[in-house]
Amino acid sequence: MTRPAAETTPAEIAEAKYLATARAVRDRAQALYELAERGDLANFSVDETRLAPLAEYVVGVTRAAYPDVRAIPSHTRFRHFDVGGIDRVARLDARLAGLPPSDQLCAKFELAITSVLLDAGAGERWAYRDASGHTHTRSEGLAVASYDLFVGGALSDDPARATYRADAATLTRLGADDLGRAFQVRADNPLVGLEGRASILRRLGEVITRKPEFFGATSPRLGHLAIYLLGQARAGSLPASAVLAGVLDALGDIWPGREVCAGKNLGDVWTHPAVGRVPFHKLSQWLTYSLCEPLEQSGVRITEANELTGLAEYRNGGLFVDGGVLVPKHPGVVSETHEVSSPVVVEWRALSIILLDKIAVEIRRLLGLGADELPLAKVLEGGTWRAGRQLAAERRQGGVPPIRVRSDGTVF
């Protein structure tokens, strides 16, 4: 039961503010990592002797994908839109070319936000067939499906007049059946967490109308978050942490059934019995990485990118389990299906956050690049996410992750 605002203590207010930072993600993850090093976690131990050979594996995957390692792009949602050799981002840019620059930026924000929020794990049986007849699965399939949803005008209040928009009224009306038809969901093509995804977009529509400071008081639209963030820039520069803060402040209320502190929905924050609340903000940080790209294209210089953390999801986490760095301490870790809130999953995600920082150091050394040349966003893209998928495919049919998580479509 949430206490009245009048009973909220200064400590709770400070805790809620702190948990909405990338620093808190690293701090609480580090606390669990130190327990793992001492052998005091119930579910995992850490074998750092496996980290160097795993880094070599990741570097091999990275060089295969990006022979010019100085040209590795950041790990953003926009990479997935080009699956199948189709440059969908260029197609969208061509369609937006006649609009004012601010409207172009708003549209890119709206595509990125809605697509990232629909990007939680699709499950092993779902696939999407695009207009060219190609079939895509997992994150790339969700990317193409959400791209088609957006450019088709399905999120605009008036697609005949303004197609490339995501408006509050349309989002609030979106049902699971509507999303299911757009994503080709059938009994033989099930999508994990369909209702959860639709409910997030409905709540997104509600938030747009309730927060004019982010989305505009007159004709509010999702993309106005870009205008808000432009206003936060100083001398043309904007710290990545400020983008994350804007994302969490503007969109925090969309998350369902999560912990509340000081009257604030904490989002992707889960309690572990050893250290208390552990924040991850996986989708919010993934979104932050993605929004930084169009902001930079608009002329804003994004600074301090390495303050953000790696993404605590099953490809990065699976890399360390399959690579022998994270060692399950009992058979149930890999044989059972776990809730997102379970200690197994919280430990898995937290340890992966710290290990991403550690492996990034070794990857940079092997490639002869510094942290500014190869920030964490590029390590992920090159990178750990890609290598985690490849290693899973080598180990298990269908490339499923080593640990099974029961998803509602709103976390991973």
**What digits encode the pLDDT tens for the residues 235-271?**
999 999 999 999 999 998 888 767 888 888 899 999 9
Calculate mean pLDDT across residues 388-400.
Answer: 94
Distance in angstroms (rounded) separating the CA atoms of residues 138 and 132:
18
- Residue 327 pairs in a beta bridge with 45
Distance in angstroms (rounded) separating the CA atoms of residues 288 and 240:
8
- Nearest partner of 282 among 402, 192, 385, 184, judged by Cα: 385
Calculate mean pLDDT across residues 78-98.
Answer: 93
Which whole-number Å values give the CA distances from 244 to 61, 67, 179, in the listed order?
29, 31, 27
> For the whole model, what pTM was predicted?
0.92
DSSP secondary structure of 42-80: SSEEE-GGGHHHHHHHHHHHHHHH-SSGGGPPP--GGGG
Burial class (CB in 10 A: 0-12, 13-18, 19+), 267: buried
Asked if pLDDT for residue 121 goes beyond 90, the answer is no
In the chain, pLDDT over 90 holds for what percent of residues? 84
> Which pLDDT value is given to residue 192?
87
Distance in angstroms (rounded) separating the CA atoms of residues 81 and 146:
9
Asked if pLDDT for residue 3 goes beyond 50, the answer is no
| Listed range (104-118, 256-270, 371-385) with the worst mean pLDDT | 256-270
> Which pLDDT value is given to residue 230?
97
Distance in angstroms (rounded) separating the CA atoms of residues 329 and 351:
14
Domain residues of the chain, as ranges?
1-74+261-282+306-412, 76-232
Asked if pLDDT for residue 4 goes beyond 60, the answer is no
In the chain, pLDDT over 70 holds for what percent of residues? 98
Asked if pLDDT for residue 391 goes beyond 80, the answer is yes
| Listed range (119-123, 129-133, 325-329) with the worst mean pLDDT | 119-123
pLDDT digits (tens, 9 = 90+) for 163-174: 999 999 999 999
CB 34 within 8 A of CB 272: no
CB 92 within 8 A of CB 98: no
E strand or H helix that includes residue 272: strand 269-272
